[in-house]
């Protein structure tokens, strides 16, 4: 079985980018100036979400009657 990717919620995006890029050697696939950053290593996608932006998005969904069950399908 192979892991295709996963998501992490982070509080300090610049710090986490430096850690994953400089210490662990991940390649950045998107601009570092966004609230969500895509990184890749060994063909596995790592998505860093800014925690505050994610929480705002979820709050808006709930206010608009859009319910997220947080269940995602991966192949």
Predicted confidence at residue 69, as pLDDT, reads 54
Whole-prediction pTM: 0.64
d(CA 12, CA 3): 25
CATH of domain 5-63: 3.10.180.10
CB-CB contact of 39 with 29 (8 Å): yes
CB-CB contact of 10 with 50 (8 Å): yes
Predicted confidence at residue 68, as pLDDT, reads 52
Instruction: Please state the three-class secondary structure of 22-60 as a single string.
Output: HHCCCEECCCCCCCEEEEEECCEEEEEEEHHHHHHHHHH
* Below-70 pLDDT ranges, the chain: 31-34, 66-75
């Amino acid at each position: 079985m192979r892991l295709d990717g996963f998501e992490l919620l982070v509080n300090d995006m610049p710090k986490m980018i430096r850690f994953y890029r400089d210490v662990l050697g991940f390649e950045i696939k998107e601009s570092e100036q966004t609230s969500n950053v895509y990184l890749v290593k060994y063909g596995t996608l790592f998505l860093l979400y800014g925690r505050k932006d994610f929480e705002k998005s979820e709050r808006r969904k709930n206010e608009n009657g859009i319910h997220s069950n947080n269940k995602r399908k991966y192949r």
